[in-house]
Structure 1
């Protein structure tokens, strides 16, 4: 892990534990984003809505806000005929978040969101490692120019793609954080185990500021992932940014089952499990985040949670854990999959 000084490490040193923001996509859909529409194009057509979401998260108590640039590589933007605007869109994403952060009256970190390219790297696909690095460099250069504090590499499945993005951040001269999505039997879709989270890029540049997990299936599962990561690397700064309960289809719309009370309990368990940066992913609204802020501020440290405690307080696991899968089964922990 990195020991270099930057805005994120400074704020961690000052506060100990930080609250990251909630969902981008879910909340933009509530603001009118249409299915199939690129959220990044709203940076030009509806910048005031992006600024409002950042402001609402800051008002709810977020210490870290992530830019609206998750799909900001040329590979994603080409699907919306915007591959030639990578630098401009990412710069704008960071500028909007930076403006909100700078007027907060307290330190707020701007994480430049960097999601997967959506392409498979050789030998599974056609994307070379070098081309992946180049695509991430192009994106991160825009984020840096717009004022992002840190490259926030998230929802990753491939160890090689994590490393490519981390190498790109280092080339651009930005500190970086990375998180995987452990949504397949307790591992990422490409087989990365939570205990091995530092292996893909722990040695790139000065190392990551923080590593961890986001998205996945539900709050229970990401807490199980947290226990694996903190057991393997007790000194690491671990991020968890879990989904707000479980996605459920109601007609053609997706709703998330998590209440503010459930997400507050998730924060308490995450803190006791060793997480240093805690936030929400899909389905997490500003109301959820307010409850999470209150829970973090009022929390009295308790014992490290067990899997049984997580099930009791949050609900059943939706996946087998990685450990159970390796052991060839184990006791059933609720329905598997995304539900």
Structure 2
């Protein structure tokens, strides 16, 4: 199924911090996967909160279903079954929504987020195939998210491009405080180059996520320009996080990041309006952006559509 809203499409918000707020089992390094393993009812509640807030797309809770978060032994034994569970939970909530809600199958970085240098081309297909096998029966589209490099993204894209479902690739950007100059992926690749490669490989759209709001607008404009130059029709989406910028750590998951005080629903909505003006057609939130933010976006869309 394609994304079709006459105004713009609303993606859900972050899963991990919402699960923590709901009182679900939550610790590092498992992050959001722990609830899926020990208390899946909380995952259902989180999906329902986003549907109730107005999301048109909910994303499977499969971001943590990778060996460096689950551990290799648990991943090998249970990874596919847990992906199937994540897909089933999201599908059940979407089907009961009483309106059209799509399920996006989340395909995360198979190794560490923000660390393009740790990508292992020989190992990645095994991890991705486990996720795809469990999720495929339950999802309407694929969301290859928080990708730090094109090689990372195109490896995942190649695993799902032939199954008839739209595939959206979402890149994470360099977002250090005071950053100037062209917007780049965390690998250092220019956004325009990444967009051209990704659309040429068959992606239905380009998103940007898990980065500061301040860097997103330039990325959207660069993506729109690159798609236009290539003569490609593509959805462009944005779902920023609410964390303060942090340099990569040599210790994975050393702690849980603080949430910015200036990204309440009212202020986050101001960014949404800018991204829509820049050319985005899909908007939502990543880490630290919750149902209250999605509800604000829904209300804004309703008022704009009624005007």
- What TM-score range do you get, normalising by the shorter chain? 0.7 to 0.9
Aligned with residue 205 of structure 2, among 202, 210, 213: 210
- In structure 2, distance between residues paired with 1:200 and 1:133: 19
Name the counterpart of 1:101. 94
Query: How many Å apart are 1:124 and its aligned residue?
Result: 5.2
How far off is 1:286 after superposition?
0.8
Give the Cα separation in 2 of the matches to 1:202 and 1:247: 28
Displacement of 1:87 in angstroms is 1.1
Contact kept? 2:30, 2:64, Cα under 8 Å: no
Query: Are the counterparts in 2 of residues 134 and 168 from structure 1 also a CA contact under 8 Å?
Result: no
Q: Deviations over 1:42-75 (max 9, x none)?
A: 2231111000000000000000111110122345
The answer to whether structure 1 residue 112 and structure 2 residue 105 are counterparts is yes
Distance 1:133 1:203 in 2: 20
Larger Rg: 1
RMSD of equivalent CA atoms: 2.7
What TM-score do the two structures reach when normalised by structure 1? 0.76
Structure 1 residues 72 and 171 mapped into 2: Cα distance closer, same or farther (>3 Å)?
A: farther
What SS is found at the alignment partner of 2:41? helix
Aligned to 1:322: none
The aligned counterpart of 1:237 is 235
Q: CA–CA distance in 1 between the matches of 2:174 and 2:191?
A: 11
* Counterpart contact for 2:174–2:186, Cα < 8 Å: yes
CA distance in structure 2 between the aligned counterparts of 1:259 and 1:171, rounded to whole angstroms: 40
Structure 1 runs (4+) deviating above 6 angstroms are: none
**Higher RCO (C-alpha 8 Å, min separation 6):** 2
Residue 126 of structure 2 aligns with which residue?
134
Show the counterpart of 1:81: 74
Residue 143 (structure 2) aligns with: 152
Q: Tell me the residue number matched to 2:219.
A: 225
Report the CA distance between 1:84 and its aligned residue: 2.0
Cα distance, 1:275 vs structure 2? 0.5
Secondary structure in 2 aligned to 1:15?
Answer: coil
Gaps of 5+ in 1: 1-6, 301-339
- Aligned residues of 2:15 and 2:287 also touching (Cα < 8 A): yes
Structure 1 residue 167 displacement after superposition: 0.3
Question: Cα–Cα, structure 1 residues 156 and 221, in superposed 2: closer, same or farther, change >3 Å?
Answer: same
Matched residues, number:
283
In 2, Cα distance between equivalents of 1:126 and 1:208: 21
Of 247, 271, 290 in structure 2, the residue corresponding to residue 285 of structure 1 is 290
Secondary structure class of the residue paired with 2:29: coil
Per-residue CA shift, 1:286-313, capped at 9, x if unaligned? 111111111222237xxxxxxxxxxxxx
| Secondary structure of the corresponding residue to residue 241 of structure 1 | strand
Q: Say whether residues 1:195 and 2:199 are aligned partners.
A: no
Q: Does the CA-based 8 Å contact 2:108-2:147 persist in structure 1?
A: yes
Normalising by the residue count of structure 2, what TM-score does the alignment of the two structures yield?
0.83
SS in 2 for 1:212: strand
